[in-house]
Structure 1
Amino acid sequence: MEEVVTCFLKSLPVVSLIICCISLTGTAEDQNKLERIEMCSTKCSQGLNCETSHSLFSSVCQTPSDDFKTSPVFQDINLSTVLRCEERQKCSLHLSIQMRMRIRDSIHGVSICTLRHGLIPNCKVISFSKDSIESGSLVDIENDCTKISLSQKVLLTVETVPRYCNTNWTQVYTAPGCSNRDLQQHVPDCIIHPTSAGVWISAGKLLYKVNPEEKSITVDVIDFHEGHNYNLRLCHAKGFICTSTGPLAVIKKEDTIKRATLSYSRLVPCLCIEGWSAVLDARRVQVCPFKQYVEELWTGITFDPIESSLSWQPLCPVTARVTLCQKQEHGDCINLPNTSHNVTRQKVKFAGVESHPQLCMKFSVNSEDWIRCPFGDQRFTAWEVSRHPEGAVLLYSPARGIFSVELCEVESMMPPKTCQSAHNYTIKVENRTSVEVPLPSELLHRTFCLQVRRQDVRYSVTLVHCFDPILQIYSNTSVNPSWIIVPTGALLALVILIALMLHVCLTVHQRRTQKEKNGSCPYEKQKDYTCVFMVSALPSKSALLGEAFVPVSPQNRSNEKAILLSD
């Protein structure tokens, strides 16, 4: 810390400042690396011959002389952890004790005792001869032969030999844990400690990648104990228990590529990857990277048609509120009264539920809701209210049920529709049958609504059906058959009469035409008029072109010319 302050207090150029800070960063990284020893030993200052022995009990303390009070025996004691490695991945932790003490003529050794929780004290005595050391001199003593475990708390007591009262030194020391990067790579119990990094997320020494298309997770293992196989599995973590979701995968120690593929059905928040070395009582690591997949929990809703019960149990521990609701046309889901339950792990069950497509479950976590409608598929058909062409209202149900039908006036046509009840009917419907609702006849002339709800279940939806009076009037209008038959018969008779007259005229015209060709057509004026009249009754091609048809022979033309000349 002093180096950091000094670095920033000095008025250095920018380049020098960067170099200073880089050197500090490197120092911080070096602090994570522990000192190595080849063999444990005891070291003393030059001129001080040391020997180590073990002792179980400390002797009764003696009263020190006055010079012990003026100048303490133990001036400085430092504790640290060092590693002794047999192989690269087979290192053990040792407690290193470095002390500086003042020699007295009466002191010929030091006792170092360590006490661990649940174990008896372990004491060792360092004896020394001080032929060349004057009394009152400061000497250094170091010992690193005390084994310790990961994250272990040790009570350390240092005393003189012989033991003098009120001269001892005591301190509690905590060994480093697997958060130390050096231990993660070289201590067997720390090789699977969890961390994270990048797209491929590291879990200690586990790297994984999700393959959504194949519903699988590829796991690579790094720096696990090379002398043993490695086990991998997927499991659902619930507290201290992780329940397997599939078979165990084993990576052989002989395998060049330390990789395995695990299959999953759904990614849920408590789905974890668990790995451990295939040794007795090996430490395990769990990586649970799918905490955000909360939506996948709202599956597994089951319906028992015999009990008419709807149930759901979370796959993972979750704090949620479960409510039955009725889905509306605009997408909202209105909660049914007295149906809310707070859940964490327990099963939720609703007994006496109507299997209607609009009856749904609402899951609420914090301020977010998820709606699941288990009866929305084609397997479940709902009861219906329809109108017969003659105006009757029919209630159809695919299953036996008792329904409450309320005649009411609409208060709001906006969804959800609400109405005020005016009259109530109770209707029993058998399987796949329709029953007519007994409504007053005066309803045909005004708008009315029916509020329908199934009564023989505990949880059901309530629907409002409204009917238009115009549709009702047209569907009930009665027509007298004589209004159609009489005009139709008269029109048919007229058509037949006209057809007969046209047939007669056509026949007469054809005969007169034939006679003219044969020169036998009479020339009397009266008959000529008759002939003209009869022909005009059936227009010919000339008449259609706007010309009058009058047959004239050459003799008639000569007579008309003689008459004109005589006049």
Structure 2
Amino acid sequence: MILWAALLMCHFGFGGAGPNLGVERITACGTKCSQGLQCKSKPAYFVPPPCRKPTDGLDVTAVFRNLSFSTVMMCEASQKCSLRLRIKTTAHLAKSIQGFSICSETPGKPQKCRSISISKVSRRKMAGMEVEVENDCIDVSPRQKVRVTVTTFPSYCGITQTGTYVAPDCSWKDLRRNIPECTTGRLWHDVDLDRKEVRVGVTEALQGHDYHVRLCRKDFICVGTGANAMIKKEEPDKSVVLSFSRPLPCLCIEGWPAVMDAPRVQVCPFKDALEEMWHGIRFDPLEEALSWEPACPLSARVTLCQRREEDGCSDQESVWRDISREMITFAKVDPHPQLCMKFTAGNQSWIRCPFVKSLQVWDVTLAQQGSTLTSRINATFSIDACRPSQDSTVCHATGTGVTVQVGERSSVSLNLTDVHDCVLVRRTDVNYAATVLHCPTQHVSQGSTLGTQAGWDVVSLGLGLATISVVALAFLLTIAVDRRRKETKMKCVGKHNKFYTSECDFLCENE
């Protein structure tokens, strides 16, 4: 039983091995019958006659035993092969049966039939015995579905056998190399990312034909990008160079022979280059809308997060979008440098902060002389003082929060009870905003080390040392210039004409 199961798996291609199996070759099609049974076949294009009533003693249920199918390949030369359907049936031969008729039907095509006649001598000799009949002259196309009907001749009502078969498709390696309609060629490529070029070559192409190659973006179909070329059949170097703008995961190389309805083959050299996907973030300052559209279809999640100096980017609760191929938009967004987008695909994440290099629309200045909040736009802010812990980076709010309205290109004063306090500021007139921590010594993001009065002393000392250094440098430069002028003046003594080309000419004329 185990051996029989293994043979079945090999025959029908179970277990994923089918596409790599070789197809049996034949040099000519024909009909084979059991040993001792003389038969011959010929095409039968006529319309089959009406069936007749079975003769006495003919058991209509015991004539045909089984029906099996397989595919063979008939070849004239390399890459000049065609598929044939091998049909094999076992029948109980009776004296009234003169032969068999095998017909195949495919969608959209007329019926094809073969008649197999048995000689009288064979009928008398082998009457009542089981015989085998095999024919492999019905041509089929790759992946074609065929319905086969086997009847007796003459045709007796109720004595028929039918079956359905699907021919192998072009994924079978043997078909790709030998059947013209399956021969796509094999592509190879060499990428130069610096020059944004890819050299594309083809092997095992269809002989005697030119070959097309192009770059395309793969989605439901592969849409061309404009980069295409043709490899001429007479060229010994079967390769061309194509240029691309971005190495996107869906950017593929497509190739096909220059024949009608030729199958195509694709390779995607940048399929793992997800890093390239996270470009093209756009912000509409009038609508305050943050949007991004994937250049390739993919399964990922986009989250708004707030950038931290120490621990990356903290997700904002419930602010995420699942994406595939459509544009995603976050409406009413505060364009603050700390507000970022995090893209997650699989177990990898990438952070992009689109407002880091843009003009900041609002800012807070904390100083001993007075603290202010300045805004370039009309906006509403929530402000709450907080005090940093001595042994922690956490800033605890004092609970004295207020809401402040700031006009366009205006400022408001922040009345802090303690000049050492920090403030938490957040825009409240938008849907998405960062909660930004500002402290007296520097503008830092929440979670950074907070400054104290000692920080002001360090800054003052640094400014003093810088001032002393500048004065000393200026003094040394003055001495050097004066010495240079004296040396040049001595060289000019004794010169009476005024046509000098050296720098002393200018000095002598002006002394």
Q: Give yes or no for TM over 0.5.
A: yes
5+ residue gaps, structure 1, are 6-27, 193-203, 475-567
User: Secondary structure of 2:319's match?
Assistant: coil
Give, as a single letter, the amino acid of the residue that structure 2 aligns with 1:453.
R
1:114–1:156 Cα contact (<8 Å) kept: yes
Once the two structures are TM-superposed, the CA of residue 96 in structure 1 deviates from its matched residue by 2.4
1:352–1:457 Cα contact (<8 Å) kept: yes
What are the residue-to-residue correspondences of 1:121-200 with 2, within 5 Å? 121-131=111-121, 134-137=124-127, 141-192=133-184
Which of 437, 452, 463 matches 2:425? 452
The residue aligned with 2:359 is 380
1:356–1:380 Cα contact (<8 Å) kept: no
2:58–2:94 Cα contact (<8 Å) kept: no
Query: Distance in 2 between the 1:67 and 1:456 partners?
Result: 92
1:34–1:182 Cα contact (<8 Å) kept: no
Which of 318, 322, 344 matches 2:324? 344
User: Secondary structure of 1:395's match?
Assistant: strand
Give, as a single letter, the amino acid of the residue that structure 1 aligns with 2:413.
V
Give, as a single letter, the amino acid of the residue that structure 2 aligns with 1:59.
P
Once the two structures are TM-superposed, the CA of residue 271 in structure 1 deviates from its matched residue by 2.2
Q: Deviations over 1:381-435 (max 9, x none)?
A: 46332245x62113344x234352524233767556452431425252543x6x3
Query: Distance in 2 between the 1:436 and 1:190 partners?
Result: 75
2:36–2:122 Cα contact (<8 Å) kept: no
Query: Distance in 2 between the 1:473 and 1:126 partners?
Result: 107
Q: 1:473 to 1:182 in 2, by over 3 A?
A: closer
Which of 252, 264, 268 matches 2:244? 264
Once the two structures are TM-superposed, the CA of residue 330 in structure 1 deviates from its matched residue by 1.2
Query: Distance in 2 between the 1:30 and 1:244 partners?
Result: 31
| Identity, % of aligned positions | 37
User: Secondary structure of 1:184's match?
Assistant: helix
Q: 1:416 to 1:33 in 2, by over 3 A?
A: farther
* Aligned residue pair count: 430
Q: 1:102 to 1:351 in 2, by over 3 A?
A: closer
Query: Distance in 2 between the 1:170 and 1:472 partners?
Result: 93
Q: 1:30 to 1:136 in 2, by over 3 A?
A: farther
1:81–1:175 Cα contact (<8 Å) kept: yes
Which of 110, 114, 120 matches 2:104? 114
The residue aligned with 2:274 is 294
User: Secondary structure of 2:218's match?
Assistant: strand
Q: RMSD across aligned C-alpha pairs, in angstroms?
A: 3.5
TM-score by length of 2: 0.73
Query: Distance in 2 between the 1:352 and 1:186 partners?
Result: 61
Q: 1:380 to 1:246 in 2, by over 3 A?
A: farther
What are the residue-to-residue correspondences of 1:416-455 with 2, within 5 Å? 417-424=395-402, 426-428=404-406, 430-431=408-409, 435=411, 437-439=413-415, 443-444=418-419, 447-455=420-428
Give, as a single letter, the amino acid of the residue that structure 2 aligns with 1:235.
C
Once the two structures are TM-superposed, the CA of residue 60 in structure 1 deviates from its matched residue by 1.6
Give, as a single letter, the amino acid of the residue that structure 1 aligns with 2:415.
L
5+ residue gaps, structure 2, are 7-17, 441-450, 458-511
Q: Deviations over 1:236-255 (max 9, x none)?
A: 2112x222233212112222
Query: Distance in 2 between the 1:266 and 1:232 partners?
Result: 18
Q: Does 1:393 align with 2:374?
A: no
Q: Does 1:81 align with 2:71?
A: yes
1:188–1:224 Cα contact (<8 Å) kept: no
Once the two structures are TM-superposed, the CA of residue 76 in structure 1 deviates from its matched residue by 6.5
Query: Distance in 2 between the 1:144 and 1:321 partners?
Result: 55
The residue aligned with 1:540 is none
Relative to its length, the structure with more helix (as a share) is 1
Which of 276, 282, 295 matches 2:256? 276
TM-score by length of 1: 0.67
Give, as a single letter, the amino acid of the residue that structure 2 aligns with 1:426.
V
Q: 1:313 to 1:132 in 2, by over 3 A?
A: closer
Q: Deviations over 1:184-236 (max 9, x none)?
A: 211022222xxxxxxxxxxx622233333333332221222223222112222
The residue aligned with 1:212 is 193
Give, as a single letter, the amino acid of the residue that structure 2 aligns with 1:179.
S
Query: Distance in 1 between the 2:237 and 2:452 partners?
Result: 79
Once the two structures are TM-superposed, the CA of residue 120 in structure 1 deviates from its matched residue by 4.6
User: Secondary structure of 1:369's match?
Assistant: strand
Q: 1:330 to 1:157 in 2, by over 3 A?
A: same
Query: Distance in 2 between the 1:30 and 1:337 partners?
Result: 51
Give, as a single letter, the amino acid of the residue that structure 1 aligns with 2:342.
K
Q: 1:374 to 1:227 in 2, by over 3 A?
A: same
